[in-house]
C-alpha cells in the first residue's frame, strides 16, 4: 500500500473540488473565486498557512489603493490517503 496526496479545494470549510496536484486545486479555487469579479481590479495570492498542508487564498482590491491582503473563504488542503 502506498500513501498518496489529494488536494482538496474548499469554500467556507466545504469541499468544492479535489485534484491530484496543488496547482490544479489552486487554479480551480481561483477560477471559482473570480467567476463573477472583474479580475483586473483584484490581486490574488496564496498564503501557505500550514506548510505542506494548508493554503489560503488572499486578495486585495486594487482601485482602493490598499496594500494589505485579506483572506477569502477559499482554501486548499493536502489530504493523505492510502491506495491499494
Our count of domains for the chain comes to: 1
- How are beta strands 14-19 and 42-50 bridged, if at all? unpaired
Mean pLDDT by 10 residues, the chain (84 residues): 90 97 98 91 96 97 91 97 77
Helical residues (DSSP H) of the chain, grouped into ranges: 22-33
Q: Which domain holds residue 28?
A: 2-83
pLDDT at 38: 87
**Rounded Cα gap, residues 67 and 35, in angstroms:** 23
User: Is the Cβ–Cβ distance between 69 and 45 less than 8 Å?
Assistant: yes
Predicted pLDDT of residue 39: 81
CB atoms within 10 A of CB 30: 20
Distance, in Å, from the CA atom of 8 to the CA atom of 55, rounded to the nearest integer, reads 10
Give pTM, 2 decimals. 0.90
Amino acid at each position: 500500500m502506498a500513501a498518496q496526496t489529494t488536494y482538496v479545494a474548499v469554500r467556507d470549510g466545504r469541499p468544492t473540488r479535489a485534484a491530484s496536484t496543488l496547482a490544479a486545486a489552486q487554479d480551480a479555487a481561483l477560477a471559482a473565486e473570480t467567476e463573477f469579479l472583474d479580475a483586473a481590479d483584484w490581486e490574488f495570492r496564496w498564503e501557505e498557512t500550514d506548510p505542506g498542508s494548508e493554503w489560503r487564498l488572499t486578495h486585495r482590491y486594487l482601485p482602493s489603493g490598499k496594500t494589505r491582503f485579506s483572506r477569502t473563504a477559499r482554501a486548499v488542503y493536502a489530504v493523505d490517503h492510502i491506495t491499494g
